């Protein structure tokens, strides 16, 4: 029996153009991390690119190096990408945790202004849903205060605010090497603004014994994540992450594949933006849930579509049973328990992230919207699964032991009867 139709977490990593770039022996295709950084510099129109194999740690290290011996805390979101959980304490001894803005998932101008008044010397901003509407005001505030702004735009790349993207902001900028806000083929990223010299490494030599299994694994992941072919997949039901490859052991064709995806990114961003508008139209009116509005003049086209529900864990389970896998690990706790604000706790308990892929067809969007509607309604507005309460008659208060009137009912714990 074929497995039911589903919407996977990740987008297929391969397509026709990517495969053509992988097989090409000549042409303007990157074959090393340094060449890929140069291609990213031309694409994002930024200077001083550097390959960052450990993205979160490299950004924190570059920020610490830019501050130098200047003492003072830095400000970071209390609820953001979980990769910073180890990187931040490794490089900074004092951290101010930023609360999400009212009605948003990321810190806003007011929260960052409070951190600057508290003495923050640098701001680490990592939008997790692609909303970059506050970036112009945040950058202006940091420049006026003389505070460094480090921006992790991996999840928000493709979003727009008045014809500008997140790649136009930040003293230090971290962007995906293939232009995709979803997990990429390479675990590393491109870091802009760091004055460390780009190392042009020699082209890695990989044997067929090492390269062929990687290619076969990549094809298998493409077949697994493609909704049109997934009905034939009989592998594990649990969601799996895309295979990350170490740059030192990665075949040359993987860098060419990343550059080909980078060239396609603008078309993919436009398709994601259309999907965001469609989901907002279908999900904003659901009872027991609320979608997040963009700033005026902003357009979100990031890694996922956020939805606030009364019980995120319950709705995620309902969606998975219906064939839609929510994006895991997009945001997680960073602040210690004693420093977690109420607003961040509330957001963490209510936010789910619907997968956004550029290849959705109209019927795919209809399937996803209907699954979200069913999951939210079946969750009862976020009430956890529990047996239906049993009912028993209340004693009559009319003074007559025997009465033909319908007895009153009361709820009794212990299950349905």
Q: What is the pLDDT along the chain (417 residues), one digit of tens a residue?
A: 334 567 888 777 788 888 899 888 777 899 889 999 999 999 999 999 999 999 999 999 999 999 887 767 999 999 988 889 999 999 999 999 999 998 889 999 999 999 999 999 999 999 988 788 899 999 999 999 999 999 999 999 989 998 899 999 999 999 999 998 877 778 889 999 976 544 444 555 556 566 777 777 777 767 666 655 555 554 444 555 555 566 567 788 889 999 999 999 999 899 999 999 999 888 878 888 888 888 778 888 888 899 999 889 999 999 998 989 898 888 888 998 888 889 999 998 999 999 988 888 888 898 999 999 999 988 875 444 444 444 444 444 444 444 444 444 433 333 333
Give me 101's structure tokens: 């803005």
CA distance 13 to 312: 28
How many other C-beta atoms can be found within 10 angstroms of the C-beta atom of residue 71?
10
- The residue assigned the tokens 């031309």 is 42
346: which 2 tokens? Answer: 């509330």
Neighbouring CB atoms inside 10 A of 65's CB total 13
241 neighbors 231 (Cβ within 8 angstroms): no
Domain residue limits, the chain: 16-378
Tokens, residue 366 = 């209809």
pLDDT the model gives residue 167: 93
Give me the pLDDT at residue 206, please.
59
Structure tokens at 120: 């923050």
Q: How many CA atoms lie within 13 A of 186 on its CB side?
A: 34
Domain covering 16-378 in this structure, CATH number:
3.40.640.10
* pTM reported for the whole predicted model: 0.82
Spatial distance between the Cα atoms of 325 and 296, rounded to a whole number of angstroms: 30
């Amino acid at each position: 029996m074929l497995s039911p139709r589903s919407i996977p977490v990740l987008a297929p990593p391969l397509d026709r153009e990517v495969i053509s770039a992988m097989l090409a022996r000549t042409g303007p295709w990157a074959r090393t991390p340094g060449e890929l950084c140069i291609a990213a510099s031309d694409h994002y129109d930024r200077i001083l690119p550097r390959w960052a194999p450990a993205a979160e740690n490299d950004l924190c290290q570059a920020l610490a190096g830019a501050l130098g011996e200047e003492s003072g805390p830095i400000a970071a979101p209390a609820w953001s990408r979980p990769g910073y959980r180890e990187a931040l304490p490794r490089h900074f001894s004092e951290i101010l945790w930023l609360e999400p803005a009212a009605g948003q998932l990321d810190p806003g101008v007011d929260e960052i202004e409070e951190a600057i008044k508290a003495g923050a010397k640098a701001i680490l901003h990592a939008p997790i849903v692609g909303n970059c509407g506050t970036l112009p005001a945040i950058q202006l505030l940091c420049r006026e205060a003389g505070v460094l702004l480090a921006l992790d735009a991996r999840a928000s790349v493709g979003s727009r605010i008045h014809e500008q993207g997140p790649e136009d902001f930040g003293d230090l900028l971290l962007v995906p090497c293939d232009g995709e806000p979803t997990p990429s083929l390479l675990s590393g990223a491109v870091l802009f603004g760091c004055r460390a010299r780009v190392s042009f490494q020699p082209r890695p030599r990989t044997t067929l014994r090492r390269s062929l299994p990687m290619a076969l694994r990549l094809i298998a992941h493409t077949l697994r994540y493609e909704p049109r072919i997934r009905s034939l997949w009989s592998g594990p039901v649990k969601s799996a992450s895309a295979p990350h490859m170490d740059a030192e052991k990665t075949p040359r064709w993987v860098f060419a594949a990343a550059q080909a995806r980078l060239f396609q990114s603008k078309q993919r961003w436009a398709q994601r933006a259309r999907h965001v508008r469609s989901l907002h139209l279908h999900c904003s009116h659901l009872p027991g849930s609320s979608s997040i509005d963009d700033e005026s003049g902003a357009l979100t086209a990031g890694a996922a579509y956020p939805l606030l529900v009364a019980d995120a864990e319950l709705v995620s389970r309902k969606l998975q049973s219906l064939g839609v896998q929510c994006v895991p690990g997009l945001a997680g706790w960073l602040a210690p328990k004693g420093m977690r604000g109420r607003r961040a706790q509330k957001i963490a308990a209510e936010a789910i992230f619907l997968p956004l892929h550029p290849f959705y067809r109209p019927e795919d969007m209809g399937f996803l919207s209907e699954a979200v509607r069913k999951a939210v309604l079946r969750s009862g507005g976020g009430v956890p699964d529990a047996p239906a309460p049993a009912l028993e008659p209340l004693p009559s208060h009319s003074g007559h032991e025997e009465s033909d009137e319908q007895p009153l009912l009361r709820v009794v714990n212990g299950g349905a009867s």
